[in-house]
Amino acid sequence: MKSIILGILSSLFFASTFVLNRQMDLFGGDWIFSASLRYIFTLPFLLIILYGKNNIKKVIFEIKNNFKEWFIWSNVGFVLFYAPLTFAGNYGPSWLIAGTWQVTIVAGILVTPLFYSMIENNGNLEKVRNKIPKKSLFISLIILFGILLMQYSRITSVSINDLVLGFIPVIIAAFSYPLGNRKTMEISGGKLTTFQRILGMTLCSMPAWILLLFYGLLRSGIPNNNQIMQSFIVALFSGIIATWLFFKATDIVRKDMKKLAAVESTQSGEIVFSVLGELILLGGAFPDIFANLGLLVVIFGMVIHSTYSSKLSN
């Protein structure tokens, strides 16, 4: 149950990403700065947190030992996650992007066969491919149905171009995040703390963020002070607090695919927090009847997932 609570708390801080990115877009900020500055601002926080006791040296050592894997999966887990997600924020309200993002719950289950577990058989350890947890998948499909309901009014009111640009990038992000997260968990093998693993992923993805930042400067000039400050807040709330809470939750249950799926399902809490954030901070329009029904279905699916996970623990 501890992992579920940590997951829900992380969804609260992750929701700030959707709301603040939407606010920056409404005020004319370039999505490239919103994406790159978040991770560039995150790096100093991590270095301060891990300063001393050879914490940083240990991260560098692990990266050197398996640089190719670290580089690939860090960029999948961070760059292919956050850049598309931020880009999509230009094409819909924060609660809709957060709602569509919940596809990551199903994605996390579908990537399960890409990983292996060590099973003891007659005194010997065997490497066995993980299977898709069918009950968890069924529950996650309930959440997916809720997402489709949320998208219904959107489908009937916007152009195909806006629909595609606000939907496809989120799907890419939804698969990239759990894949990168789980792969780096597998690579590190429990040798690194949660913050150390986040630092490793941040360092390996930093060249991409710096290149993206320079491209943004060439395209749009220097970002305004408002966007810089809000990107700093997103870095703290989402890049540090939310990411640590979520990675800690997944670390706790990393050897149990069913519990891991339940933890990943807690991210649907972002929808509720995003709706509240957009209404309070941005004066956004309240979701229509289909969107509200979809929200309720998604929350219902999250509760079932959490209950199922709790039963597995007992």
Q: Dig out the tokens for 194 from the structure.
A: 């949660």
Instruction: Read off the pLDDT band of 240 (50, 70, 90).
Output: confident
pLDDT for 306 beyond 70: no
Residue 265's H or E segment, with its range, is helix 257-265
Instruction: Read off the pLDDT band of 311 (50, 70, 90).
Output: low
pTM above 0.85, yes or no: no
Say what percent of the chain tops pLDDT 70: 89
Closest to 100 (Cα-Cα) out of 165, 48, 157: 165
How far apart, in whole angstroms, are the C-alpha atoms of residue 205 and residue 39? 9
Say what percent of the chain tops pLDDT 90: 29
| pLDDT, tens only, 220-239 | 999 988 889 989 998 899 88
Q: Dig out the tokens for 303 from the structure.
A: 């509760």
In this prediction, residue 47 carries a pLDDT of 93
Q: Residue 231: what residue type?
A: S
Q: Dig out the tokens for 126 from the structure.
A: 């065997």
Q: Are 179 and 111 in contact (CB under 8 A)?
A: yes
How far apart, in whole angstroms, are the C-alpha atoms of residue 151 and residue 157? 10
| pLDDT, tens only, 112-137 | 777 766 666 666 666 677 777 777 77
Q: Dig out the tokens for 125 from the structure.
A: 């350890």
Provide the 3-class DSSP secondary structure of residue 88: helix
Q: Are 4 and 83 in contact (CB under 8 A)?
A: no
| pLDDT, tens only, 46-93 | 999 898 778 899 999 999 999 999 999 999 999 999 999 999 988 877
How far apart, in whole angstroms, are the C-alpha atoms of residue 161 and residue 39? 29
